[in-house]
Amino acid sequence: MNVLVLGAGQLARMMALASKPLNVNVRAYDVGSRTVVDPLNLAQSYGDLAEGIAFADAITAEFEHIAHDVLAQCEASGKLHPSSQAIKTGGDRRLEKGVLEQCGVANAQHKIITTEQDFADAISELGLPLILKSALAGYDGKGQWRIKDASQAADIWKDIEAFFAGANEPAAQAVVAEQMVPFDREVSLVGARDAKGNTQVYPLVENHHTDGVLTVTVALAQNEALTAQAKAMFDKVADALNYVGVLAIEFFQVGEQLLVNEIAPRVHNSGHWTQQGADTCQFENHIRATTGMPLGSGELVRPTAMINILGEDEVPSEVLSVPSVHLHWYGKGKRAGRKMGHINLSADTNKALVERLYQVAQLLPSAAFEDIQQYAAELAKKY
């Protein structure tokens, strides 16, 4: 069985590693060079997209922002999972909001902005404060603005106008204005759906962000009612998209209610913990779903946390002296803010995991991981 992944980054790499025991061969289409490569050895080339499509029994994607002509060529082969429309939905917040409204899934009140009048109407109709997100190409905190006071409006609109003028996406750019949600915490649910509509979901996890970028995910034994609520929303969205593969949904938790923040039609950073903490990791389940194999269980095997390594190409080797700690490097060149790898750590109980997270955080250099140390200390107080 052969799989072509659109995109040749760390997610394609981890899919390839998870595929080896299944006797599935994975190649990746590098959207920059427009060549097919080995995701575990990027210097190894296998030709162009047409040759990659011919090689593949199934085609999937590791990210949303893929040229529409590439998606169309892959979809025409009948091998693309999830569909091009599902992938485009994850890359365009207008389409995303449309799917959420179609499904009747709770999310923040919002308005689409393409003109200065739309901007003024959003402020008037939704009230302040607002968060404004680019419809296309925004990720990891980029392409976003916050307006808390009407006095900021003129300057922010000038910035958005300049953003529109510099846009080079295939579709017209826009901004989605959302009411700022006073949430208790950010959580996410990762799940898999096969072509027959069967699903397997992983536990609801808590996410911690630093400057808009995910830095820690914690998978603990959670409130079952809240997880059931998240799964019901996952099923509605996955069914509406006729989805095949792994899908992630990020939520704001407000009391006992969940509001969808974003959907991601792919394996997801907040699911990396599944490599050590779940019965079947998200990468294997994505390959299973897209190649027609039965899905594996998403059951939590043991409480597990993930720490993102951002902009650092090494961490103290002492972290490996902590029991049940695993390092996952992506083989990238060092660059400030870049996702270079992650650390997974596990324990037998929630309390033990939180203590171990704090222990590992203390071993990491404070200059690069100070916020994680603070988060671990606060989490420890709850257990």
Q: What is residue 122's predicted lDDT score, i.e. its pLDDT?
A: 97
DSSP-derived letter for residue 26 is E
- Taking the C-alpha atoms of residue 214 and residue 276, their distance in angstroms, rounded to an integer, is 19
* Structural tokens at position 249: 């949904």
How far is it, in rounded angstroms, from Cα 114 to Cα 116? Answer: 7
Cα gap 89→86, rounded to integer Å? 5
Cβ-contact 353, 218 below 8 angstroms: yes
Least confident of 59-73, 168-182, 213-227, 338-352: 168-182
Q: Phi and psi of 43, rounded to 5°?
A: -75, -15
Q: Which residue's structure tokens are 């981890």?
A: 14
DSSP element (H, E) containing 208: strand 205-210
pLDDT in tens, 309-333: 999 999 999 999 999 999 999 999 9
Cα 354 from Cα 243, distance rounded (Å): 35
**Looking at residue 136, what DSSP letter applies?**
B
| Listed range (95-99, 118-122, 164-168, 248-252) with the worst mean pLDDT | 164-168
Residue type, 94: R
**Residues in the chain, total:** 383
3-class SS at 22?
Answer: helix
Prior bond of 294 cis (ω within 30°)? no
pLDDT digit string (tens) for 23-35? 999 999 999 999 9
Mean pLDDT, range 197-224, rounded to an integer? 93
- The pLDDT value recorded for residue 102 is 95
Structure tokens at 349: 């109980």
State residue 139's pLDDT score.
52
Bridge partner list, 329: 341
344-360: b (≥16 Cβ within 10 Å) or e: bbbbeebebbbbbbbbb
Domains in the chain, CATH or no CATH each: 2-80 (3.40.50.20), 109-179 (3.30.1490.20), 185-381 (3.30.470.20)
Q: Are 15 and 39 in contact (CB under 8 A)?
A: yes
Please report, for residues 24, 118, 243, the alpha-carbon distance to residue 344 in angstroms, rounded to integers and kept in the order given.
Answer: 25, 44, 28
The answer to whether residues 350 and 339 touch, using CB atoms and an 8 Å cutoff, is no
Contact (CB, 8 A) for 193 and 244: yes
CA distances in angstroms from 161 to 110, 113, 118, 120, 164, listed in the order given: 19, 11, 12, 14, 5
- Exposed/middle/buried for residue 162 (C-beta within 10 Å: 0-12, 13-18, 19+): exposed
% the chain with pLDDT above 70? 98
Tokens of 128: 């302040």
Quickly state the pLDDT bin for 222 (edges 50, 70, 90).
confident
pLDDT score of 169: 67
| Sign of the CA dihedral with 285 first, then 286, 287, and 292 last | positive
Strand-pair category, 199-201 with 205-210: unpaired
Give pLDDT tens digits for 132-149: 999 987 654 568 999 999
pLDDT at site 363: 97
Examine residue 82 and say whether the peptide bond preceding it is cis (omega within 30 degrees of 0).
yes
User: So what's the pLDDT on residue 364?
Assistant: 97
Question: If you write DSSP's letter for every residue of 253-287 in order, what string do you get?
Answer: EETTEEEEEEEESS--GGGTTHHHHBSS-HHHHHH
> At how many degrees (to 10) do helices 68-76 and 84-91 cross?
160
Nearest to 81 by CA among 236, 196, 190, 251: 196
Q: Which pLDDT does position 72 carry in this prediction? A: 98
pLDDT of 41 above 60: yes
Asked if the model's pLDDT at residue 215 lies above 80, the reply is yes
pTM for this prediction: 0.95
